Amino acid sequence: MIDWSCKSFDELKTKELYKILQLRNEVFVVEQNCAYQDCDDKDLKCYHFLGCENENLLAYTRLVPPGISYDDAPSIGRVVTSPSVRNQGLGKVLMTKSIEQIQILFGDVPITISAQLYLKKFYESFSFRQVGEEYLEDAIPHIKMIRKI
């Protein structure tokens, strides 16, 4: 049974923060072979949405308030599931619950994301639509996507 929680940076326990950074580094830095500055100061201003089972972090998103990544919209970023639970549908549950949490925090508002291009169809299944052209972020093709209300 996965326990879902949403916390501000100051509410995170030290072990929770460690597990978040560990999972993000495992996937975004090591697995995707991408050296980038993960700790970008946004974490301090964001909400952290965690899916844990028996103290193991299985799923995570960073919920970004309006005015941090995008002037007029909240965002969902650092979307990640543990490699140990891949292909079990947890990513879909994570996104559904992250969208619900954004609505709790900021109301029923449009959500803007920067999506890795290969995940376009995944995000389209949550009513996100591409706006603009493809671009490189940390040498990985990305697209801007918006989910309107």
Q: What is the pLDDT of residue 34?
A: 67
User: Six-digit token pair at 77?
Assistant: 């970023």
Ramachandran angles phi, psi of 100, nearest 5°: -60, -40
Ordered domains of the chain (ranges, CATH): 3-147 (3.40.630.30)
Neighbours of 76 (CB within 10 A): 26
Q: What is the pLDDT of residue 94?
A: 97
Q: What is the pLDDT of residues 5-42, one digit of tens each?
A: 999 999 999 999 999 999 998 887 666 666 666 788 89
Question: Quick check: helix, strand or coil at residue 35?
Answer: coil
Q: What is the pLDDT of residue 26?
A: 87
For 47, residues 6+ apart whose C-beta sits below 8 A from its C-beta are: 6, 7, 8, 62, 63, 65, 101, 105
Q: Rounded to two decimals, what is the model's pTM?
A: 0.92
Query: In this structure, are strands 56-64 and 75-81 parallel, antiparallel, or unpaired?
Result: antiparallel
Regions of the chain short of the pLDDT cut 70: 29-37
Q: What is the pLDDT of residue 40?
A: 87
Residues 95 and 63: their CA atoms lie apart, in Å, by 11
Q: What is the pLDDT of residue 143?
A: 96
